[in-house]
Amino acid sequence: MRDIEEYLYMKGWRREKKCERMRGAFSKGRLAYFISISVLACTFPSSSFASPGRPGEIFNFGAGARPLAMGGAHTAMSSDASSIYYNPSGLGMLAGRNAALMHSTLFEGAVYDYMGYAQNFGRLPGGWGLQMIRFSAGTAEGRDEFNNPSSAFSYSETAFAAGAGLRGVFLPALSLGAAAKITSRVLGNSSDRLMGMDLGAQYGPLAGGRLNFGLVLQNAASFSSGDTSDRLEPAVKAGAAYTVLPGLALAADVSGSGEFRIGTEYVMGPGALRVGYDRQAVSFGGGIKFLKSYQFDVAMLKHETLGLSNRVSLNYYFGGFNKPPRTRSYAGNYLDKAEENIRSGDYVKALENVEMAGGMDLEMKKGPWGEKEIRLTAIVKGLKLKELPRRQDALKIRGEQPDEANRALVEYLNGNNLKSALLAHSALGYAPNEAFYGELLAVLVRLTSFELRKDEILPRPMLIQEKLNKAAEIFYEQRFESALRQCEEVLLLDDKNAVAWTRLGSVYYAMGDREKARNIYEKAVKLDPSDQQTIDFMKMQGWK
């Protein structure tokens, strides 16, 4: 009889009161049969053999053949429906709606089934999901204390969980999530329920989108009801995933108890090969994507004692694999906010929103906003806008000087270095004694590699006139290249300045480029139809 109680205690099925009523329910032969079913049901993952007495081992059997083929090293890789199982923070990184199924026939009627579903929130960057797991060890015939047949009994566990995750919490690359779960255990006429909550975090991707870190605290809070004193035991897992080469990923997990898992995945077009290892078993498998939305995966594990077992799973991705990830639309929303921030002169907030967008969509950094983020960072750091909020506030005020300064900063963000530097000179010219605008000029001169021109620190109208005068002087000195630059810089400051266009045309005419001179003169006359002198000159050339 003590053997029965020890077995039930080992498997986390102990019922102190119920066991008294169940004495004599098993013969030794039937008990051995039932033990063999339950042990083989735990063949995957092998960590379940390491601690067979822990309640809630159903949460160690795995979810999805892809992570199982990688040895269960999925703490830093979860980003689909299986995130509820492995790390709920992965729900914050969902690309779109996803459903997953897994079925396993174990031994003598024992089965393990998993079902999961996840989808994005409507407007928030993240998602939620549900999962159901069921393990059934089949049915065995009971025996009384006289070894006579009695009523049959069975053992099963059914677990439900719901979770949610958010992306960009506190930091652009940080995802946080939580999942609540409840497990119902039934042994014969005895039943109980175990409840727990998991907390998870993922940080990344870093290193150009190749590196991710994950952390999960399982059963951070646990409760029980029914005829048991068991509780789901707290457990900590940390993991990392690294893309070594395009298509080749390496993942590793370590738990607080010292269990280590490692796995790798190599993706080749629609197919993938996977290998994993933990301290008791080697796993391997593969997968294939088909019909635009389906993914079929298989995992096999070679245990040193129990031999080979396998799992198969099927995933469905709503909208197909080529559907743009939902996170990309969230990124677009943050970029729209950044544009508004820039227009209002709030560069600190603009940078935060651009960084959030980059955390949602790595492809963003490959486009124009990637360079703009670099320039925005240089502005915020160079002007110390975070450390000195008064400077940021000064740029939000409307007026000739702050407006000109903002125009200079926007031109720098758009990659127009020369125009940015000229406008920075002009901004300081409105109030040369304002120290902040002097530093703004110094920062932009450094960032644009432009020379500081003290004689051009003038309000824009005066700066334009100064440059037109310079252009005229050096034109008569036949320094045409210098005159050309002066005219072009005036047009950067005011592209509708008819005088600048006329003088630019004269420079090209003097340099012998009559076709370009004619086109420029025509533009000048269009801007100022009353310029009779230019019109008469064009008639002399036969251009009118």
Confirm if 212 and 204 have CB atoms less than 8 A apart. yes
pLDDT at 504: 96
- Please say if the pLDDT value at position 6 is more than 70: no
Q: Which domains does the chain have, with CATH numbers?
A: 2-317 (2.40.160.40), 326-456 (no CATH), 460-540 (1.25.40.10)
pLDDT in tens, 201-241: 999 988 888 999 999 999 999 888 877 778 888 999 999 99
Side chain identity at 16, as an amino acid letter?
Answer: E
The span from the CA of 34 to the CA of 465, in Å, is 97
Interval 359-372 mean pLDDT = 87
Is pLDDT of 517 > 90? yes
Task: Give the start-end residues of each E strand in 10-148.
Answer: 98-105, 111-120, 126-143
pLDDT, position 497: 96
- What are the residues whose beta carbons fall under 8 Å from the beta carbon of 305, sequence distance 6 or more? 49
Judge whether 300 and 317 are in contact, CB under 8 Å. Answer: no
Q: How far apart are CA 278 and CA 62, in angstroms?
A: 14
Task: Considering only the C-alpha atoms of the chain, give the largest distance between any 2 of them, rounded to a whole number of Å.
Answer: 128
Identify the pLDDT of residue 478: 92
Q: Tell me if residue 111 falls in helix, strand or coil.
A: strand
Cis peptide before 125 (omega within 30 of 0): no
Above 50 in pLDDT, residue 372? Answer: yes
Q: Are 499 and 468 in contact (CB under 8 A)?
A: yes
Q: Which residues are within 8 A (CB) of 339 and not within 5 positions of it... i.e. 6 or more apart? A: 350
- Gap between the Cα atoms of 1 and 137, Å rounded: 21
HSE toward the beta carbon, residue 164, CA cutoff 13 A: 7
Highest mean pLDDT among 28-32, 47-51, 68-72, 320-324: 68-72
Query: In the prediction, which pLDDT does 153 show?
Result: 75
21 sits in the region (left: phi over 0; alpha: psi -120 to 50; else beta) called alpha
Tokens of 331: 């990124």
pLDDT tens readout for residues 142-161: 776 777 777 777 788 999 99
pLDDT higher than threshold 70 for residue 263: yes
End-to-end CA distance of the chain: 116
- Helix-, strand-, coil-residue percentages of the chain, each rounded to 5: 40, 30, 30
Q: What is the pLDDT of residue 303?
A: 65
Task: Kindly provide the b/e burial profile for residues 111-122, where b requires at least 16 CB atoms within 10 angstroms of the residue's own CB.
Answer: bbebbbbbbbbe
85, HSE (Cβ side, Cα atoms, 13 Å)? 29
Three-state DSSP state, 462: helix
Q: Report whether 72 contacts 261 (CB < 8 A).
A: yes
Average pLDDT in the chain? 86
> Which of 15-24, 106-115, 121-130, 480-489 shows the highest mean pLDDT?
480-489
Which residue type is seen at 398? R
CB–CB of 178/198 below 8 Å?
yes
Rounded CA-CA distance 260/275 in Å is 15
pLDDT class of 35 with cuts at 50, 70, 90: very low
Residues paired with 156 in a beta bridge: 136, 186
What gap in Å lies between CA 138 and CA 16, rounded to an integer?
Answer: 23
Q: Is the pTM of this model over 0.75?
A: no
Cβ 214 vs Cβ 201: under 8 Å = yes
Amino acid at 407: R
Confidence of residue 330 (pLDDT cuts 50, 70, 90): confident
Task: Give residue 530's pLDDT.
Answer: 94
- Is the pLDDT at 43 greater than 90? The verdict is no
Among 146-150, 285-289, 396-400, which is the least confidently predicted range? Answer: 146-150
* Three state DSSP letters for 87-103: CHHHHHHCCCCEEEEEE
Task: Decide which of 486 and 307 is more confident.
Answer: 486
Angle between helices 498-510 and 514-527 (to 10 degrees): 170
Q: Are strands 98-105 and 174-187 parallel, antiparallel or unpaired?
A: unpaired
Is the Cβ–Cβ distance between 499 and 522 less than 8 Å? Answer: no
CB 421 within 8 Å of CB 449: no
Q: Is the pLDDT of residue 257 over 50?
A: yes
Nearest to 13 by CA among 236, 183, 145, 259: 183
CB 14 within 8 A of CB 8: yes
Over the stretch 288-306, which tens digit does the pLDDT of each residue have? 999 999 999 999 887 665 5
What whole-number percentage of the chain has pLDDT above 90? 66
DSSP 407-461: HHHHHHHTT-HHHHHHHHHHHHHT-TT-HHHHHHHHHHHHHHT----GGG-S-HH
CA 509 – CA 507 distance, rounded (Å): 5
